[in-house]
Amino acid sequence: MQQGEEIQKLIWEGSIPLIINLGEEMLTNNKKKIQPFYTMSSRMSYLFTISQDIINYFEDALKEFIEKNSDKAIDLEKNLWLDFNKIPLKWYQPTGVLYDTITGEMGKKFLPWELTAHFTSFPDNILFKISQAEMEQLFFHSFKESCFLLCGSTAYIDKFNPLFQSELIKNAFLINQKEYISSLSQLGFDYKNEKSLATRLIYQGKLRQLPISPQNDGEETLLYQALEKYGIFKKIDNQQLLKSDSKPEALSIETDESSQFENQNEIQNENENQSENQEKNDEINLIEKFENIQQNFQIVIQGIMPPLDTPCWWLAEYCKHPDGFIYIIVNDRKNR
C-alpha cells in the first residue's frame, strides 16, 4: 500500500470519544440523575449522524419533558443542538474539524469530548435548523461545489444516475472508506493536474474558502504557499519574514563588467557553485520561514500538523473530507 493511501486509511479510521449530557433545562426531576450518553464519532462524519441515537438514549427524560410542555409541539430532531463549554456546535461541519477548531483555540485537548444536548432555546443566530434529508442535500451540494472548484464544471456528476448520488452520501455518512473512494474514482480526478483545489481555512472562528492551484509555474504548490494566499501570515513580524526572505550578500551575483575570467571552465564552475549556494541558501531561508510560521501558528489538517512543504494536491488526494474540501485549521500560538 502506498504511503498516501495508508495515511488516508488511518485518517478515515480516526474517531473522537464523546460524552453527551442532557442540558439541565431538560431535567424535569432534579432528584433523578441521568447517565450521560457515551459514543464514538468518526472525525470524518458529522455529529448530525448521531442525532437519532441521542434522542433514543434520552427517550424517557424527553417524554417527561414533552408531557410537561404538551402545549408546545417539539420536533426533537430539528430542535436538537449540541454545545461544548456553552459554544454551540455547527454540526453540519465535519466532527474532526469542529474538534480541532474549538480545542485548538483553547490550546489543549479535551478527551473524551464532553458535550451537552439541548432541545430548547435553539441559537438561531448561530446555527440553522436542518432535517436529515436537508443535511444530505447540503452535503451533496458542498461536494458539487468542491468538484466545481476542481475542474470548473459539475456536468459530469449530473450525468451519473441518481444511484451515484445516494451511494456517495450513504458511504460518506457511514464512513465506508473503500466504497466512497470507489464512487469517487468514477469521476476520475487527477488532483495534480486539475484546475484548482477546494480548500477551506478556519482562523479565529471564521471560515474562509479559496481555490488553490495545484501547480504554480510548473512547480507543485506547497501548503505554506496556500496559507500565504490566505494572507494569514501578515500578522507575523514583518521584519522576521523580511530577514528570512532576504538573500545573503554572498549570494549576490557579480555583475562588474571589469571582472573577467581567462578560462571558460572557471566561469562554468563558478556559476555551478553559485547555483548550489543559491539552492542551499534558499533552503535555509525556507527553514527559517517555517520556524517563524510554526512559532506563531499551529496548522492542523485532519488532527495532525503536516509539514509546511507538503504539496497541496497530495493533501487534496489523501486528506480531504468526504465533501471534497481540505479543511485547514489555523490557531494563534501567542494567544495561549
Binding-site ranges for another protein (CB under 8 A) = 90, 92, 128, 137-138, 141-142, 144-145, 148-149, 153-154, 158, 165, 207-211
What is the spatial distance between Cα 326 and Cα 149, in angstroms, rounded to a whole number?
A: 12
DSSP-derived letter for residue 251 is G
What count of Cα atoms within 13 Å lies in the side-chain half-sphere of residue 199?
29
Q: What number of other Cβ atoms are within 10 A of residue 112's Cβ?
A: 14
Alpha helices in the chain (DSSP H): 3-13, 51-57, 59-68, 76-79, 95-106, 132-151, 155-158, 162-173, 177-185, 223-230, 238-245, 264-296, 312-318
112 preceded by cis ω (within 30°)?
yes
| Closest CB 323 distance from another protein, rounded Å | 10
Closest CB to another protein among 27 and 87? 87
Closest CB to another protein among 225 and 296? 225
Q: Which three cell numbers stand for residue 308?
A: 509546511
| Closest CB 141 distance from another protein, rounded Å | 4
| Closest CB 93 distance from another protein, rounded Å | 9
Closest CB to another protein among 22 and 149? 149
Closest CB to another protein among 125 and 239? 125
| Closest CB 297 distance from another protein, rounded Å | 21
| Closest CB 162 distance from another protein, rounded Å | 8
Cβ 150 vs Cβ 198: under 8 Å? yes
Closest CB to another protein among 8 and 101? 101
